[in-house]
Chains A and B, each alone.
Chain A
Amino acid sequence: MPDNDESPMKPHAVKTEGLTKVFYDDGRGKVVAVDRVDLSCSGGEIVGLLGANGAGKTTTLRMLSTILAPTGGQAWVMGHEVTENPQDVRSHMGFYSASTALYPKITARETLRFFAKVNRYPAARIEERVEYLIKRFGISDYADSRVEKLSSGMKQKVSIARTVAHDPPVLIFDEPTVALDVLNAIELRKIIAQLRDDGKAIIFSTHVMSEAEQLCNRIAIIHRGRILATDTLDGLRKKTGCHYLEEIFVHCTQETDTP
């Protein structure tokens, strides 16, 4: 994979400091969705954001990908701050979630070309890149079919290919496996692991314990908008004295829930 057009790898590809999101909701009033989150992720590493539904995973990742503006704190992607330089943040990042869909009326090939262009991949190398992606993700058979005609498994492959279309150093996966069947989920996890081995910095959110155990170099447990612990699985085991991630998770969250 032709990678690393970047200058010498910065210590952290992704970094947040005190990242906070407060919003006003008609029903609930003031809601602190994300509360002073500190995170970091380097190239060749997968950081898992583990939490229950509504814990603040998606909000955190949406702030990182500049869809939402933080109400406090800061976040950098490849040295670019999310509020100061959102376009540069996005051109260095690929974002994938269960809700990032594809355009139905264009073909897989056109999709990849479109996202490579929009994400400012050097124009002269776009065709070469598209060919590479088609081969790498095994979509040659249906590269010229319209996306609306593809099966969900095929769409998923095209979706991942479009996420890395511009060869970004940082990848964000927001609960990517949530809508997939077992086989497709396994396939996706395999691809994510490969991308890590390519040297990408990957942040991955999930509420499935086994997935986090299997895939992540480090795990950040998030609960009610706050990071309770960030460490490798072994580190977490040592800290809590529990073996399974599920136990660790329950241990951490109960500590904060009981005053």
Chain B
Amino acid sequence: MRLTPAVRTIYGLEIRSLLRDPRAIFASIILPIVLFPLLLLASKKMEKDLGDSAPTQGEPAQTKTYKYAITGTESEFVRQLVEGLPAPDAEGADTKPIDFKLVDVEDPVQAFNAGDLDFYVQGMTPDEWQAARAEKPTPVEEGAEKSETPVVRIHYRFDRPKSLKGSSTLRDKLHELRTSQRHAKLVAVGFPVDPSTVAASTTTNVASKREMSGSQLGRMLTMFVLILMVAGGSAIAPDTLAGEKERGTLTTLLTSAAARSEITYAKFLAIVTMGLVVTALQVFNLWLYLGMGLIDVPADYAASITPVTAIVLFVLYLPVAGLTSGVLLLTSAYAKTYKEAQLFLLPVILLLIVPTLAPLLPEISLSSAIVMVPIANISIAVRDVLVGQANGWLVGMAWLITGLAAVYATRCADRALNDENLVSGADTDRAELLGGPALFRKRVLRWFAVLWAVKVLIDFNVSFEDLRVTSLVNIGLVFVAAPLVMVWRFELKAKEAFALRMPKPIVWLAVLLGAPAGLIVSAMIFRLASYIVPIPTEMLEQLGQAFLPEDIPFWQLAVFFAVLPGIVEELTFRGALLQGLRTRYHPVMLCVIIGLIFGFFHFQIFRIPSTAVLGMVLTALTLMTGSIFPAMLWHALNNAMALYIGSAKVDLTANSWLAYAGATLALTLSLWVIWKNRTPYPGLRGSDRPSEADLAGVGETVSG
């Protein structure tokens, strides 16, 4: 793309308009410059409070006193033990002397809860210990499972920094004491040498300082940079296209001799400029604060960034800046008004941040399929560069792929300018006047965005002791109320909206076969995927265990987590959502989009892909049968079996390839039967009946 006179003129207009808007300047440049260091300062402070017990240099040595009490049947034993602890050793002047102060209180538990004590120590007899463990299993160190001596238990609160620190110091001291006592005993029974020479075990960190700080910095850097770039870019992005649409200046501009590609290119450049300027300002700002000593950063951090590294980082981040700006521009192109563009910003920002977290995954490297994921690949490349272990070819490839994604996003924005519905978006809409189902089709995605936000709020802020209550609140508030309100508000016919029609009887049989087969096939896909993208084992374990509480009988689990969600979530997604979107997208796209939306309603990040695939299958099922009931049955069966597998601890990913082949065959057979007996969903895009090709495509997506 060339810098034609039109591009330069429009670019100049964008920048000039922004510079003349004091409020935008304040919100996007001045405010962050003040807030950002404050945020860093606060996080540093918190880290210090919670952090390791090593005192920072320069602070005057002062005695830190931890108040505690002793309780339990073996309290006398504990008292002697603690009093017998070696006095704080004088290793160096910078070590803060530590003092434990025994406080005499009536009720240690109450005093502890009231905050008068930092922690309390309970002395238990071995029998009491065993009983307590049976009630609430706690991890213990090796050899302590069958203790024959009294057991010391320290009660502390993780959320009180002083409690945490004091208790852990005491625990370490007790460990030391025990080791030395054990040593003495061994010598007493005639053990010839110091036990540490027999079984010496130490841990040694082989990473260099640069590598350590590099990997620490590299994990977070891309996220920070991206947030800064988005902050800068979004100062101008909502106005570039959406704001112009709303004001009517876009029509003026579109009827000028500037080509549409020139318009998007100029606006893209303006967003990139703002993103880079704000990022640069913040980096400078940070450097200033560091120089003034307002923020202290370990010297290794600074050392890990040489001028050459800084240049490499800048070049690496260019395509990220491009992609971020392209996505912001695209968001602006799709929004009809300034407000709408701002509304879209938050989810878009979250979506952009997710890939920057890639370096946090253990064991992930650029030599896996992650190199194909824009932004994620750059953030790993940056980590590798900072650690000093970058592979030039792979880094180059990552750069290229993210760069191509940036070009693609800008192209999409370009195309959006040619989309008549989007260009003339600000005109009064017939549907808005008429209301009813036509309006529902326009508003359905907005409704689901709100629904998603409500679910996020509930899930993250309200927690119930009982999982059953959680399930009911979710189902009741989000999934029953929402579709009913939509039906009422837009005067939809329930039978149409929820596809309440009967499929052919044979479909039921096919579902009974297909649902279990589908579960096994998805396990297979997961396993195949794990060959391409290394999935950490903890993640696999979490996936298997799910959430099974052991105090709820299985039949209740089945009702609350299989049958009810099966019915209710289908009404929401394959009912209202599908009805609203049916004329907007091609049937194959419908499956993909509804599947993805369904996936994003399940927040645990590891569940999104699998639920999204399930959602696609269920959408295809509803499209083929024109009925919601087979999807309900499939969904309920799927959940019930997943529950059963979870509780019976069956590992599906360990199945033999023969079983996988069989399951794939069964799934294909099931879908083939459903396809042969299809009674298509009415009123899809294009024609009254979806064409053969459409649904054949759907079938492929499903079994693939």
Interface residue ranges, A against B (CB under 8 Å): 23, 25-28, 62, 65-69, 87-88, 90-91, 93, 95, 97, 99-106, 110, 114-115, 117-120, 123, 146, 162, 166
Contact with A along B660-690 (1 / 0, CB 8 A): 0000000000000000000000000000000
A65 to B522, CA, bound (A): 52
In the bound complex, residues from chain B placing their C-beta under 8 Å from that of A65 are 255
Stretch at the interface among B83-91, B220-228, B403-411, B418-426: B418-426
In the bound complex, residues from chain A placing their C-beta under 8 Å from that of B254 are 66-67
For the complex of A and B, 8 pairs with smallest distance between CB atoms: A27-B438, A101-B248, A91-B257, A95-B255, A105-B17, A100-B252, A105-B20, A99-B248
Q: Can you name 16 A-B residue pairings with CB atoms under 8 Å? A: A26-B438, A26-B442, A66-B255, A67-B254, A67-B255, A87-B259, A93-B255, A100-B248, A100-B249, A101-B252, A102-B252, A105-B16, A106-B20, A117-B6, A118-B257, A118-B258
In the bound complex, residues from chain A placing their C-beta under 8 Å from that of B441 are 26
A101 to B253, CA, bound (A): 9
A174 to B252, CA, bound (A): 12
Interface residue ranges, B against A (CB under 8 Å): 5-6, 9-10, 13, 16-17, 20-21, 247-249, 251-259, 418, 420, 423-424, 426-427, 430-431, 434, 438, 441-442, 583-584
Q: Are B434 and A27 in touch, CB under 8 angstroms?
A: yes
Q: Are B256 and A118 in touch, CB under 8 angstroms?
A: yes
A110 to B259, CA, bound (A): 21
In the bound complex, residues from chain A placing their C-beta under 8 Å from that of B434 are 27
In the bound complex, residues from chain A placing their C-beta under 8 Å from that of B430 are 25, 27-28
Q: Are A67 and B13 in touch, CB under 8 angstroms?
A: no
In the bound complex, residues from chain A placing their C-beta under 8 Å from that of B21 are 105
A103 to B12, CA, bound (A): 13
Q: Are A120 and B257 in touch, CB under 8 angstroms?
A: yes
Partner of A97, one of B20, B251, B438: B251
4 other A-B residue contacts (CB within 8 Å) besides A87-B257, A97-B251, A117-B6: A100-B251, A114-B13, A118-B253, A120-B257
Partner of B424, one of A25, A67, A90, A115: A67
In the bound complex, residues from chain A placing their C-beta under 8 Å from that of B255 are 65-67, 90, 93, 95, 100
Q: Are B13 and A101 in touch, CB under 8 angstroms?
A: no
Min CB–CB distance B250 → chain A (angstroms): 9
The residue on A at minimum CB distance from B255 is A95
Q: Are A101 and B6 in touch, CB under 8 angstroms?
A: no
Q: Are B248 and A166 in touch, CB under 8 angstroms?
A: no
Q: Are A23 and B420 in touch, CB under 8 angstroms?
A: yes
Q: Are A26 and B431 in touch, CB under 8 angstroms?
A: yes
The residue on B at minimum CB distance from A115 is B256
**Could you say which of A65, A90, A91, A117 has the most chain B C-beta atoms within 10 Å of its C-beta?**
A117
A241 to B162, CA, bound (A): 100
In the bound complex, residues from chain B placing their C-beta under 8 Å from that of A66 are 254-255
In the bound complex, residues from chain B placing their C-beta under 8 Å from that of A102 are 249, 252
Given A27-B431, A100-B255, A119-B257, are A67 and B248 also a contact pair (CB < 8 Å)?
Answer: no
A236 to B345, CA, bound (A): 55
Q: Are A103 and B257 in touch, CB under 8 angstroms?
A: no
Q: Are A67 and B251 in touch, CB under 8 angstroms?
A: yes
Min CB–CB distance B13 → chain A (angstroms): 6
The residue on A at minimum CB distance from B6 is A118
Given A99-B251, A100-B255, A101-B249, are A114 and B17 also a contact pair (CB < 8 Å)?
Answer: no
Min CB–CB distance A9 → chain B (angstroms): 21
Q: Are A106 and B16 in touch, CB under 8 angstroms?
A: yes
Given A67-B424, A166-B257, are A106 and B248 also a contact pair (CB < 8 Å)?
Answer: no
A97 to B258, CA, bound (A): 19
In the bound complex, residues from chain A placing their C-beta under 8 Å from that of B5 are 117, 120, 123
In the bound complex, residues from chain B placing their C-beta under 8 Å from that of A117 are 5-6, 9
In the bound complex, residues from chain A placing their C-beta under 8 Å from that of B256 are 90, 115, 118-119
Min CB–CB distance A201 → chain B (angstroms): 16
The residue on B at minimum CB distance from A65 is B255
The residue on A at minimum CB distance from B12 is A114
**Could you say which of B21, B247, B248, B257 has the most chain A C-beta atoms within 10 Å of its C-beta?**
B257
Min CB–CB distance A69 → chain B (angstroms): 7
Min CB–CB distance A70 → chain B (angstroms): 11
Q: Are B257 and A26 in touch, CB under 8 angstroms?
A: no
Partner of B423, one of A25, A67, A120, A166: A67
Q: Are B252 and A69 in touch, CB under 8 angstroms?
A: no
A104 to B17, CA, bound (A): 8
Q: Are A69 and B438 in touch, CB under 8 angstroms?
A: no
Min CB–CB distance B49 → chain A (angstroms): 47
In the bound complex, residues from chain B placing their C-beta under 8 Å from that of A104 are 17, 247
Q: Are A114 and B251 in touch, CB under 8 angstroms?
A: no
Min CB–CB distance B609 → chain A (angstroms): 32
**Could you say which of B6, B427, B584 has the most chain A C-beta atoms within 10 Å of its C-beta?**
B6
A58 to B359, CA, bound (A): 54
A69 to B418, CA, bound (A): 9
Min CB–CB distance B26 → chain A (angstroms): 15
A172 to B309, CA, bound (A): 57
Min CB–CB distance B586 → chain A (angstroms): 13
The residue on A at minimum CB distance from B260 is A86
In the bound complex, residues from chain A placing their C-beta under 8 Å from that of B16 are 105-106, 110
A97 to B424, CA, bound (A): 13
A114 to B441, CA, bound (A): 40
Min CB–CB distance B637 → chain A (angstroms): 35
A30 to B10, CA, bound (A): 37
A180 to B81, CA, bound (A): 93
Q: Are B247 and A101 in touch, CB under 8 angstroms?
A: yes
In the bound complex, residues from chain A placing their C-beta under 8 Å from that of B249 are 100-103
Q: Are B431 and A118 in touch, CB under 8 angstroms?
A: no
Partner of A69, one of B259, B420, B584: B420
Partner of B10, one of A87, A105, A118, A166: A118
The residue on A at minimum CB distance from B21 is A105
A110 to B13, CA, bound (A): 9
A97 to B254, CA, bound (A): 13
Q: Are B17 and A106 in touch, CB under 8 angstroms?
A: yes
Q: Are A103 and B6 in touch, CB under 8 angstroms?
A: no
Min CB–CB distance A235 → chain B (angstroms): 31
In the bound complex, residues from chain A placing their C-beta under 8 Å from that of B431 are 26-27
The residue on A at minimum CB distance from B685 is A24
In the bound complex, residues from chain B placing their C-beta under 8 Å from that of A110 are 16
Min CB–CB distance A147 → chain B (angstroms): 10
A104 to B249, CA, bound (A): 9
Min CB–CB distance B444 → chain A (angstroms): 11
A117 to B423, CA, bound (A): 23
**Could you say which of B13, B17, B434, B584 has the most chain A C-beta atoms within 10 Å of its C-beta?**
B13
In the bound complex, residues from chain B placing their C-beta under 8 Å from that of A91 are 257
Min CB–CB distance A78 → chain B (angstroms): 12
In the bound complex, residues from chain B placing their C-beta under 8 Å from that of A162 are 252
**Could you say which of A65, A106, A118 has the most chain B C-beta atoms within 10 Å of its C-beta?**
A118
Min CB–CB distance A151 → chain B (angstroms): 17
A119 to B584, CA, bound (A): 36
The residue on B at minimum CB distance from A121 is B257
In the bound complex, residues from chain A placing their C-beta under 8 Å from that of B9 are 114, 117-118
Min CB–CB distance B132 → chain A (angstroms): 65
Q: Are B420 and A68 in touch, CB under 8 angstroms?
A: yes
A114 to B13, CA, bound (A): 8
Min CB–CB distance B222 → chain A (angstroms): 34
A127 to B120, CA, bound (A): 84
Q: Are B17 and A90 in touch, CB under 8 angstroms?
A: no
The residue on B at minimum CB distance from A58 is B427
Min CB–CB distance A231 → chain B (angstroms): 29
The residue on A at minimum CB distance from B440 is A26
The residue on A at minimum CB distance from B420 is A68
A118 to B6, CA, bound (A): 5
In the bound complex, residues from chain B placing their C-beta under 8 Å from that of A106 are 13, 16-17, 20
A90 to B257, CA, bound (A): 5
A93 to B252, CA, bound (A): 12
In the bound complex, residues from chain B placing their C-beta under 8 Å from that of A119 are 256-257
